[in-house]
Amino acid sequence: GESVGLHLPTLSVQEGDNSIINCAYSNSASDYFIWYKQESGKGPQFIIDIRSNMDKRQGQRVTVLLNKTVKHLSLQIAATQPGDSAVYFCAENSGGGADGLTFGKGTHLIIQP
């Protein structure tokens, strides 16, 4: 089964509001996490990453929070814009020699005007 998953398939927010997308993972050996954004007809695009020795990382308008105690990851998008509409995936890497990512099913973020 999936080792990484998202709680909600769809999230609808008002333009200008903050968005929070959640992700749960089950592999306690995971040591690297990435959030990807995927627009229709395109490949996943890197947003932000975080390593297991951190609990928070900030980028431009985005923040990722990692809670290793409950194996939970979240992506916060500030002042959501129409261009943020996409499917968001969290992905994890358990390390070791092979470092292919394990993706969750994704959350579709819908921005309402």
Task: State how beta strands 45-51 and 32-38 pair.
Answer: antiparallel
Task: Establish if 13 lies at the interface with another protein (CB under 8 A).
Answer: no
Contacts of 1 (CB under 8 A, 6+ apart): none
Task: Establish if 46 lies at the interface with another protein (CB under 8 A).
Answer: yes
Task: Establish if 40 lies at the interface with another protein (CB under 8 A).
Answer: no
User: In the set 32, 57, 65, 74, which binds another protein (CB under 8 A)?
Assistant: 32
User: In the set 19, 21, 25, 44, which binds another protein (CB under 8 A)?
Assistant: 44
